[in-house]
Each structure stands twice: as structure tokens, then as C-alpha cells.
Structure 1
Amino acid sequence: MSDLDRYLQAATRDNTRRSYRAAIAHFEVTWGGFLPATAESVARYLVAHAGVLSINTLKLRLSALAQWHSSQGFADPTKAPLVRKTLKGIRALHPAQEKQAEPLQLQHLEQAVAWLDQEISEARAQQKRPQLLKACRDRALILLGFWRGFRSDELCRLEIEHVQARAGKGITVYLPRSKGDRENLGKTYQAPALLKLCPVQAYIEWITEAALVRGPVFRGVDRWGHLSEEGLHANSVIPLLRQALKRAGIEAEHYTTHSLRRGFATWANQSGWDLKSLMSYVGWKDMKSAMRYVEASPFEGMVRITDKPPSL
């Protein structure tokens, strides 16, 4: 791979690249379309999947087709008025409410962490290192993901060299790149230490127990208690979260990693945060993105743990 190709590849996120490849394969192989495509064939493709695929999925397929034509030096058929009007008609005739991940309620966060605390105590007493490491890792990942509103890929890309945690004070995390950082300028995130459900203490206990000094923060643990050199894959975070919740007796099938982000946003909203502070803390650029994550109904039995972080 040439240096030019390497830089061009780095300009697109891995998840986006995989999604685009799958979209092109669906158009060309599954549906039987031809590339380069015409506006008429793209419109027929949309019609064939109207009401079957969501609007967002169709838009992703169009983006993949647009990127393929642009990279190959062909005119982009997705910009044609016929394609745009077809998509507009599909949206009008097949309205669908966007599915949202269930927000993780604070009472369920408390329940899950209490169970993980118990697992840690039992594993330490019984000298079961694999179970001890997994429970410590899961507790740190869930608490940091909730209180910082991180996405699964952001959690998986955390590097110990980019984290500064001080017990009783707070934690500072630097991410060189993220979904909202289109220019790849990097961003620093902070979270305070809490009296309960503390992400700072959970992080410190995890890296101390695992004896980690560099590299990925969250890693796989095999059945012998050996740590992987690689970070967790983003796709493994949802089953990890669901398994931890299920062990704590929580119905977990409707939870995803976005549940941590939505859970925090909803808690902050119900705790009196103004939208501007919430957007700044989580990293949303526009109000529409923020409102998608805020649950309108209040948490039942919610226990207030802390006020807004001092930085806000």
C-alpha cells in the first residue's frame, strides 16, 4: 500500500468502510445491479427495498454508491433529481419511527454495579482470576461509558497513555479521533470522582488488578485469566453489557451500548442540566442529535448522586 493509499484509507472510519463495502455488495451481488450505475437503476433499487429497509439504511446505501462512483471517477447517479424524488416519496409513504436503544436507568446501573462488586469479592476470595478480571473490567467499562456518554468504539479505543485518573479527584481522557471529530483534531474529556458508582475508582482498580501500564484500556480476558494485547472490538461491547446486566437480574435484550449514552443524557436532563451544558459535556454539535438521546419520562426511583461536574 502506497503512502497516498494509506492516508486515503485513514480518512474513512473502519466501521464506515465496512458498511460501504456491504452496501456495494448488496447493490451489485444481492440485488443484481451493475456498476457504474445509472440514476434509473438506483431509483429502481430504492423502490425494490422501500418499506423493507429503513430510510436511514437506504440513505447509507446511497452514500456508499456515491462514494464508489466518486472514487472511481464516474458521475454520481445518487445526486440525480429522479433518485432524490424517489427517496422523498418513500419517506412520505413509509414513515417509521426511528428505533432507539433503551436508556439504562440509574437504578439498573446501581443494581448491575452492586452485582459486579459481589462477583469481584467472591472471585478474589476464591482466587478465581479470570472472573475477577472480567468483573473489574466490566464494571469500569460500564461506569465510564455511562458517566462520559462514550460510544462503544470510543471505549474500545481508549489507551492507557491517554488517560489520567486521580482517586477522589477525577479522570481525564484524550481521544485522538471520534465520530464527531470530523477533522481528527482530538478531544479531551473529563469526569469527576463520585461518592457512589465512581468511574474513576473503577478504572483505577481495573488497571491495577490487570497490571496494565500501556496500550488498550479494555481488553479480552481468556478462561485462564490471560489478557489480550488488543483492545476489545466495538461489536463485543453489546454482548458484554447485556451479559453483565443479565447476571444482575436485569432484562437486557433491549439494551445496547447507546443505552449508556442515552441513560446519562436522560439522567442529566432530569437532574436539571440545560441542553447547552449537556451538549458540551457529551460532545454533540447540534441540538437535534442531543434530543434524540434524551428520554422524556423521568427515571422511577432515581437517586441523585452528584451535581453537574465542576467543569460545567
Structure 2
Amino acid sequence: MTQAIALSLTVPPVLSKTDEIALTDLYVRGTPANTLRAYERDLIYLTAWKGIRLKQGLNWPETESTALSFLLDHARDLRDADLGDPARVTAETLIKAGLRKSLTCPAPSTLDRRIASWRAFHRMRNLNSPFEAPLIRQARTKARRAAARPHTPKSARPITREVLEALLEACGSSLRGVRDRAILAVGWASGGRRRSEIVGFRCEDVSLEDFEKQGLIWLNMVETKTTQQGRTPRLVLKGRAARLLVAWIDAGGIGDGPLFRAISKADRPLARGLSPDAIYQILKRRLQQAGLPENYATPHGLRSGFLTQAALDGAPIQAAMRLSLHRSALQAQRYYDDVEITENPATDLLE
């Protein structure tokens, strides 16, 4: 994950080798893990695209003509392009290399993220980005509008309370089941946590001081996608979700290190934590055991399900956002808007 930082960072010549290493380490430690992974993927893609398209390596600073070519190549559907079109030939090569999925126009969010990474690489080198040029800024705006798509949910369906109950029931009584039940309950009840956030919890992030008397567990998160490091508010678990988490901690003998960890074939906890993909695999397995299709929902369904259930129960959106940690009320409102009008609690006010 440090390759993007290391390769993209150019330090002033007055710095010693020791200071150069220290500065690179500072960038790595000060950048969220998810952002580092995105930088890594984007650097690989950008390098491959330019090498194939222009037969050159990346320049610092990059030229405006290269930036414009990149924008234009990714702002149209290449299925309709001539077979010899350089943009199409490049895209087909990237597809064969596993770096691109299809010839269709990438989603505006994907293009925006890659450009944002490219701009970040320039900032790391203390250089101006060509994407700040007026012509390219205007072209980006037009490309975003031309490729605008209807909003599609990240999960096929939200995991509402009814679905969650079925998943919890399907977990069984083994240690693996106790763990999976805690993962699903914590991921849902703490505000709909992302996969990376769930596997990122460590024992020191969990405070049980109020559990015996009040049934409350406090969760500390270092950072999230929408909050800065050290500025993430504490989250609270109570009721059954709190009890299920304590059951896992007690059954697994979890005293330090990763909160949720791998389990051996002998049904014993291991020292290593889970990867974000493990949450997907756990959910897929429990969906099947609950009698639902494995593609019924993705892990994001925990997040969308929490907000959807909050809307169904008539919880104010501001209260739900205090747990979900959505930065934008408009984004959170989408889940409230997805609730069927006949199920909206406001329709029962007279009753």
C-alpha cells in the first residue's frame, strides 16, 4: 500500500535520505488505509494507461494534453468506437490485463477518483496538477453530466431488522457462529459499519465499563471514510447487540489485538484479524443458511438496512446519522426516500 506514496513523492534535494524516508512514512501513517489502497490501484492503472496509450511513463508535472486525452478516453462508450481507435485499443489491452472491466464509459465517480489520485500525486511532489487548467476543469464538468447515471444502491437489498433476525438465527452455536452473530449485530446496530471499519476494531476500542450496570458498550473508532483521525465520535451499543459482542469476547477469550479474528477448522480463535473480504464471505454463507440467495445483499446492506429500518421506525434522520456518521444529510436521505410510501410512519399520524 505504500508504493503509490513512495513512487509519487519527490522530496526537496536539501533533505537527507533519512528525512526522505521519514517524510514518506509520515504520508503513509497520515493517510487512511482505504485511501492508500485506492492510491495503489490508481497508480497502477494510470501508469498502464499512459504506457499503452502514449508509450510513455508518467511525467511530473503531467502535461495538459495527456490529462485531456485521459479525460476524453474515459468520457465515452468505446463499444461504438472504431476497432483501430487508440482509446479502444488501449481499453481492450487494459481489460486483458485485468485493469478495466469493459469498454463502456466508466462511472463518473470512478473517473473522479482516479483524477483525484493523480492530483494528489502532484501535491505530494509540490507540483501543480494539469487538471486545474480551465479547459480541463470545464471538460470534466461536461463529462460528468454526459455520463450521469441514476443512483444505484451498493447492495441489492437493505438488511432490515427482519432479514437480520434470520441471519442471526442461522449462525448456530459454534464459536464461529458466536463470532458471526456478533459481527452482524455490531455492524448493523452501531450505525451500519463498513467492512473495513468492522475488521478494524481492536479490543482497546471496546469499553465495557458501563456494561454491567447499564448494558452499554462504547466503541472508539480512529477514523472512518467520512471522519478525520481522532475526530470520530464514540459509538454506543446496547441491548442484544451489546450482549452478543460480550458473548463473543468471552467465548473467544479475546483480550487484546483484533476484535474479530479468524477461526481455525477446530473452531478455535486465531491471532490474526479478518480481512474486509471475509465479511462478504460470512454474509454470503449466512444468507444461504437463512434460505436466501447468496447475492440477496452485500455487506453494504448492513449500512443501508440500518438507515432503512430507522426510517421505517420513524427515527429522525439526524439521530440515525449520529450513528451512521454520514457526512451528507442528502446521502442519508436516499435511504429514507427508498422506504415505500405506504410504510412511512408519517402516514399513520391520524391513527
**TM > 0.5:** yes
Matches of 1:109 and 1:300, distance apart in 2: 22
**Paired residue for 2:98?**
none
Q: Distance in 2 between matches of 1:203 and 1:183?
A: 25
Structure ranking higher on relative contact order (CA contacts 8 Å, 6+ apart): 1
Query: What is the rounded CA distance, in whole Å, between the counterparts of 1:281 and 1:241 in structure 2?
Result: 22
Alignment-derived partner of residue 62 in structure 1: 115
Cα distance between partner residues in 2 of 1:69 and 1:162: 35
Say which one has the larger Rg: 2
Contact kept in structure 1, 2:311 and 2:339, CA below 8 Å = no
2:129 alignment partner AA? D
Q: Which residue of 2 aligns with 1:35?
A: 58
Structural mapping, 1:177-192, within 5 Å: 177-192=223-238
TM-score computed with the length of structure 2 as normaliser: 0.75
Task: Determine the C-alpha separation between the residues in 1 that align with 2:259 and 2:185.
Answer: 14
Shift of 1:239: 1.8
Residue type matched to 1:47 in 2? L
Look up the match of 1:126. none
Q: Is the 8 A contact 1:160 1:215 kept in 2?
A: yes
**What does residue 89 of structure 2 align with?**
none
1:164 maps to a residue whose letter is S
Inter-partner Cα distance in structure 1 for 2:129 and 2:343: 53
C-alpha distance in 1 between matches for 2:274 and 2:41: 22
Residues 105-114 or 2-11, more deviating: 2-11
Unmatched 5+ stretches in structure 2 = 1-17, 78-104, 345-351
Match of 1:247 among 286, 289, 296: 289
1-structure distance, mates of 2:147, 2:325: 32
The root-mean-square deviation of aligned C-alpha atoms, in Å, is: 2.3
Q: Which amino acid aligns with 2:27?
A: L
Percent identity of paired positions between Structure 1 and Structure 2: 22
Aligned to 2:127: 74
SS across alignment from 2:234: strand
- Residue correspondences, number: 285
> Pairwise mapping of residues 60-139 of structure 1 onto structure 2 (< 5 A)?
60-100=113-153, 101=155, 102-116=157-171, 119-120=172-173, 132-139=174-181
Distance 1:295 1:219 in 2: 36
Give the deviation of 1:203 after TM superposition.
0.7
C-alpha distance in structure 2 between counterparts of 1:181 and 1:94, whole Å:
29
List structure 1 runs of 4+ shifted beyond 3 angstroms.
Answer: 1-4, 292-295, 298-302
Residues 15 and 203 of structure 1: is their aligned pair in 2 closer, same or farther, counting only changes over 3 Å?
same
Partner SS for 2:150: coil
Per-residue deviation, residues 5-49 of structure 1 (Å, max 9, x unmatched): 322211111221121121122122134354222222122112212
Structure 1: give runs of 5+ residues left out of the alignment: 121-131, 303-312
Which amino acid is 2:45 matched to? H
TM normalised by structure 1 equals 0.84
